[in-house]
């Protein structure tokens, strides 16, 4: 079960992410009533952002005409834009936007107005010059692409301001989704230089995502692993989302069918919700955890399917809100769960969490860049594409890493199966050749070869003998030390006599558990050697290190009482410690003999102590001694 700390972590991380993605942009709204502002284009240079100079006016029901606006401009309650990119939120009513451009120079000025938010449904642009009002553009993603004055993914309007004069720009914007109004002013050469720089990342993004999708699709065909299917579906859908946001689909895929723009966007987002959450559920193997956690992911995948279906029946303004809601909650769930699994040490969760973080960071970066909180440089203005590509690359690597892990596990399983088959064949041959008595003996030996002692659940004598021989040979090649602790219970017979054999068994299980908790390194292990005798093998450990472990174990046993039928039973042990550097010519039994001699000395020296078997090389040869541990 997930503990209280993990739940607290999930709640804190989720709240922080929700604040970052949803609430913090709303806090930037600080509109104020204002009069029309004039921008002198003679001082703006090759590029100038007009968004922060706009004034706007809500027109529910579109009751005002452009001529009404011009006639009553000074009487209407205009609001001054508070941000570099005005953002009026989802399902805002139609709004009129207005700005006056002046030209204090002695030459006529010609350039382009650029509206880079391609998801606006309707955009009508008027120019008023010396009481003459002209409608110059009727564009929007709900109008055919051929309506645009210039064939471009963004909305472009050529504009000329006479020398020493001014013009008023009047725009009506309407959108069933978010109503954003990033308006920029360009000199024509500067715009096309900028456009070439921004088009290249779009082409690169499409190419990289297509390559990732094809690569993983072929892996899907080769492996039949459904993770690749959900991943490919996720890549394709997020690519459609990004291309929709940047007007690529509207320009190149269905330019004369604008009615597809909004439904395809919602369909792409809902498909991504479905595929991404199913992928996370499978990739992170969430069925290992409490059902409610996996249920949240499966619930979001079902929500993606529901939004996809509702998209066929409900208005865009409703379905885009649902899609945005489940995108935020799904992203929050995914990154919080991934971070929690990363905290637990799950390797694959690290790739997953980092991939999601990069995608979300890119989405936040492009949002804050549009709002003017971050500079409009490549890494921010194309943050979503960069994040999507980074996510795709990381998850592709993670899937490859997962394949490698599974392959290694298969190799290990095959090796174990081969070993088991070999042993089974040998056993079957013996069964054919041997008589009934020999078969019973073979069965008995097979049972004895089980690695675990049935009472204490530590390794048994048979496993210890095999492991000691194996480690002896391995350490003889590495010229590395091996230490052995031989442990015996003190006055164990009195436990059985005073409290019964069930209590004696409980004492053995009690001390075995204490031994296990005291040995943590890989390769070290505890074994029941027989009766109340235990051994602990410590590889790559010198005599002093082994003696330190032995003394720690002795104290732990002495200080940890056993609760038995309302009584507290104390118990002590004696430990003999020996150490050798194995060689090919030596016998591992000599290490056992040394440890047993030290244990014998500990028992006869008063018990409840640690004795060390030592060797010293002198001029007369090797001298051995058994000394107490100080």
For 4-25+200-406, give the CATH class. Answer: mainly alpha
The active-site residue out of 174, 466, 532, 533 is 532
Residue 208 near residue 392, CB atoms below 8 Å: yes
Residue 606 near residue 490, CB atoms below 8 Å: no
Distance CA 111, CA 189 (A): 9
Q: Is residue 346 flagged as an active site residue?
A: no
CA 464 to chain centre: 41
Domain spans, the chain = 4-25+200-406, 33-186, 450-628
3-state DSSP call for residue 71?
helix
- Which CATH architecture describes the domain 33-186? Sandwich (2.60)
pLDDT of residue 44: 86
Strands 525-530 and 533-539: antiparallel
The secondary structure of 385-442 as a DSSP string is HHHHHHHHHHHHHHHHHHHHHHHHHHHHHHHHHHHHHHHHHHHHHHHHHS-HHHHHHH
Chain segment 73-131, per-residue pLDDT in tens: 888 889 998 878 888 877 789 999 999 999 999 999 999 999 988 888 899 999 999 88
pTM of the model: 0.53
The secondary structure of 544-572 as a DSSP string is HHHHHHHHHHHHHHHH-PEEETTEEE---
pLDDT of residue 369: 53
Distance CA 401, CA 403 (A): 5
Residue 117 near residue 173, CB atoms below 8 Å: no
User: Which portions of the chain are predicted below pLDDT 50?
Assistant: 1-33, 370-372
Same fold, 4-25+200-406 and 33-186: no
Chain segment 402-421, per-residue pLDDT in tens: 777 777 777 787 878 888 88
Topology of domain 450-628 in CATH is Alpha-Beta Plaits (3.30.70)
């Amino acid at each position: 079960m997930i503990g209280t700390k993990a739940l607290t972590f999930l709640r804190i991380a989720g709240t922080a992410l929700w604040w970052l993605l949803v609430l913090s942009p709303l806090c930037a709204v600080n509109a104020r009533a204002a009069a029309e502002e004039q921008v002198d284009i003679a001082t703006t240079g090759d590029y100038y952002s007009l968004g922060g100079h706009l004034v706007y006016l809500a027109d529910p029901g579109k009751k005002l005409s452009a001529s009404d606006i011009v006639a009553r401009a000074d009487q209407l309650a205009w609001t001054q834009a508070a941000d570099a990119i005005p953002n009026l939120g989802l399902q805002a009513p139609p709004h009129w936007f207005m700005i006056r451009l002046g030209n204090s120079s002695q030459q006529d000025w010609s350039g382009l107005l650029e509206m880079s938010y391609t998801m606006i449904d309707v955009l009508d642009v008027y120019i008023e010059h010396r009481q003459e009002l002209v409608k110059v553009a009727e564009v929007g993603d709900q109008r055919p692409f051929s309506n645009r004055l210039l064939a471009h993914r963004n909305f472009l309007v050529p504009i000329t301001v006479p020398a020493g004069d001014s013009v008023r720009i009047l725009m009506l914007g309407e959108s069933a989704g978010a109503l954003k109004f990033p308006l920029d002013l360009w000199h024509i050469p500067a715009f096309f230089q900028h456009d070439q720089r921004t088009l290249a990342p779009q082409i690169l993004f499409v190419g990289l995502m297509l390559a990732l999708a094809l690569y993983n699709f072929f892996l899907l065909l080769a492996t039949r692993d459904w993770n690749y299917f959900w991943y490919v579906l996720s890549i394709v859908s997020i690519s459609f989302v990004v291309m929709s946001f940047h007007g690529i689909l509207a320009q190149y895929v269905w330019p004369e069918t604008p009615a597809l723009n909004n439904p395809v966007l919602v369909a792409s987002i809902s498909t991504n919700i479905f595929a991404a959450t199913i992928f996370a559920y499978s990739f992170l193997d969430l069925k290992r955890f409490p059902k409610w956690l996996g249920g949240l992911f499966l619930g979001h995948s079902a929500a993606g399917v529901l939004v996809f279906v509702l998209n066929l029946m409900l208005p865009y303004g409703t379905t885009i809100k649902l899609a945005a809601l489940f995108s935020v909650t799904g992203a929050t769930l995914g990154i919080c769960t991934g971070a929690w699994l990363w905290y637990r040490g799950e390797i694959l969760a690290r790739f997953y969490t980092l991939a999601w973080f990069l995608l979300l960071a890119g989405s936040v970066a492009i949002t804050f860049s549009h709002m003017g909180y971050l500079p409009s440089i490549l890494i921010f203005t194309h943050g979503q594409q960069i994040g999507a590509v980074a996510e795709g690359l990381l998850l592709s690597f993670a899937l490859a890493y997962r394949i490698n892990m599974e392959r290694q596990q298969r190799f290990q399983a095959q090796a174990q199966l081969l070993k088991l088959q070999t042993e089974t064949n040998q056993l079957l041959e013996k069964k054919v050749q041997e008589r009934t008595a020999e078969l019973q003996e073979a069965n008995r030996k097979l049972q004895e070869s089980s690695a675990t002692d049935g009472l204490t659940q530590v390794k048994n004598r048979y496993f210890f003998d095999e492991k000691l021989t194996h480690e002896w040979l391995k350490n003889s090649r590495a010229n590395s030390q091996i230490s052995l602790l031989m442990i015996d219970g003190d006055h164990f017979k009195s436990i059985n006599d005073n409290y019964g054999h069930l209590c004696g068994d409980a004492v053995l299980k009690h001390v075995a558990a204490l031994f296990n908790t005291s040995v943590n390194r890989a390769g070290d292990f505890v074994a029941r050697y027989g009766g109340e005798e235990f051994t602990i093998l410590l590889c790559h450990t010198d005599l002093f290190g082994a003696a330190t472990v032995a003394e720690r174990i002795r104290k732990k046993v002495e200080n940890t009482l056993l609760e038995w039928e309302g009584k507290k039973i104390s118990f002590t042990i004696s430990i003999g410690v020996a150490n050798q550097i194995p060689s090919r010519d030596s016998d591992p039994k000599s290490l056992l003999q040394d440890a047993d001699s030290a244990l014998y000395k500990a028992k006869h020296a008063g018990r409840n102590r640690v004795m060390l078997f030592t060797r010293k090389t002198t001029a007369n040869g090797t001298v051995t001694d058994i000394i107490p541990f100080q």
